[in-house]
Amino acid sequence: MGIEREGGWLAAFYFIYFCALGAFMPYWGPWLHDQGQTPLAIGILTAAVQFSKVLAPNLWGWLAHFWGSRPIVMVGTLLTAAGFLALEFSAGNFIAILLITLAFSFFWAATLPLVDATTMDWAQRRSASYGRIRLWGSLGFIALSLGMGVLISTLGMQAFLPGILLFLVLAWWVSRHLPYASSIPSSTQARPRMTPVLRDLRLWFFLLAGLLEQASHGVYYAFYSIYAEAHGLSSTSVGMLWGFAVLCEVAFFWWGDRFIRRLGIPLVFTAAFVLTALRWGVIAWWPGLLWIILVQSLHAASYAAFHLAAIHWIAERFPGALRARGMALYASMVYGLGGGIGALAAGWSWAHWGGQWTFAAAGLLALFASVFLIKGL
C-alpha cells in the first residue's frame, strides 16, 4: 500500500469518525429532551459519555498490547453502531438509555486513541505529518455539526440516530484498511513494560496539567452558546463562531508540526495554556463582537496546539508496542476524567456564580494548570 493510499485511508477514517461525533455532540442533549428526559437526567447521561472514557481507553490499550489495534478498532466501531441502533428501541426509558449509553460509550472510547497511535506510528515510518491527517477529523466535525442541524430542521429529531449510525458503519468499513503497525511482540520477545514509564513523576504532572486544561473547557462546551445568545447573538451567529473556531483548529493542524519542530514542544505547550486562559478571560469580559470573533481563533491554541503537542510528547515517552497504551492513558485522564469533571463543575458554577464568573474561573484554572505543566516538562 503506497503512502498516499495509506494516508488517504487514515484521513477518511478521521473525517467519517468526526462526522459521527459532530452529529452527536451538539444534538445529544436535544435528542434526550425530545425523548422526555429531565434536565437532571440529561446531565447524568451526558456525564456518562465523558466518564466512560476514564477506564475504557486504558482497558482497550492494554488489550491492544496483546491483540493488536486492528481487531479492537473494527469491533469497537461496529459495536458502537449497534449501541445507537439499540437506542431506537429505548422508548424514552431512562434506565434503558443509561445502560445503552454506558455500553456504546465504552466501545466508542476504544477507537480514537488506538487510531491516533496508528497514525503517529505511520507518520514516523513514512516521514509524514500527523497534523495534516488529523485535520480531516476537524473538517468532518464541521460538516456534520452543520449538516445534522439541516437534517433535523428538515426531517425532525428522528434523523439523529440513523445519521450517526450511518457514519459509524462507514467508519467500521474504513477501519479495515488502516495501515496498522505490527505492535504485538513475538512469543520469543520480552514484552516491554509500562512500569518504568509510569514511575516518572513528570508523566503524572503532565497528565494533571492536561486534565485541568481540558476541564477548563467544560463551560465552553456546555454553556458558550447560551452565554453568547444572552449577549444578543442569534443562533446563526453562534453557529458561525463555533465553525470559525474549528477552522482555526484545522489551520493549526495543517502547519502545527512545523511549529513543534521549530519552537519545541515545551514552548508550544506553554503558549497553548496561556492563550487558553486569555481566551476564557476575554469571553468572561465580553468586550464586544469583534473581540469575541478574534478570541475564537484561540481555539487553535486551546485545543489544536495542546492536542498536537500532547500527541508528540506521549509518542516520545511510549515507544513501539507501548504507544497504544500511552495514548489510551492520555485520552482517559485528560479527555475522560478532565472532560467529565469540567462539565459537572461548570454546571455547578453556572448555577451559583453565573456565566461571567464561571468563564473567569476557567481562565484561572488554565493558568493554574500551567504550574503542573512546567513540572511535567
pLDDT at 261 over 60: yes
The closest alpha carbon to 276, from 302, 294, 300, belongs to 302
Neighbour count for residue 265 (Cβ, 10 Å): 17
**329-347 pLDDT, tens digit each:** 888 899 888 988 887 888 8
Mean pLDDT of 270-278: 95
Neighbour count for residue 127 (Cβ, 10 Å): 7
pLDDT at 188 over 50: no
Report the predicted TM-score, pTM, of the whole model to 2 decimal places: 0.76
Using CA atoms in the order 337, 341, 343, 349, what is the torsion angle rounded to 10 degrees? -170
**219-245 pLDDT, tens digit each:** 888 778 778 888 988 766 777 788 788
Mean pLDDT of 20-49: 80
The closest alpha carbon to 146, from 12, 229, 243, belongs to 243
Percentage of the chain lying above the pLDDT 70 cut: 96
Q: Considering just the CA atoms, what is the radius of gyration of the chain in Å?
A: 20
Cell digits of residue 96? 434503558
pLDDT of residue 306: 93
The closest alpha carbon to 343, from 226, 212, 221, 252, belongs to 221
Neighbour count for residue 240 (Cβ, 10 Å): 15
Note whether 47 and 344 are within 8 A (CB): yes
Note whether 222 and 345 are within 8 A (CB): no
Note whether 164 and 24 are within 8 A (CB): yes
**289-312 pLDDT, tens digit each:** 999 999 999 999 999 999 999 988
Note whether 141 and 21 are within 8 A (CB): yes
In sign, the C-alpha dihedral spanning 73, 74, 76, 81 is positive
Give the SS3 label for residue 184.
coil
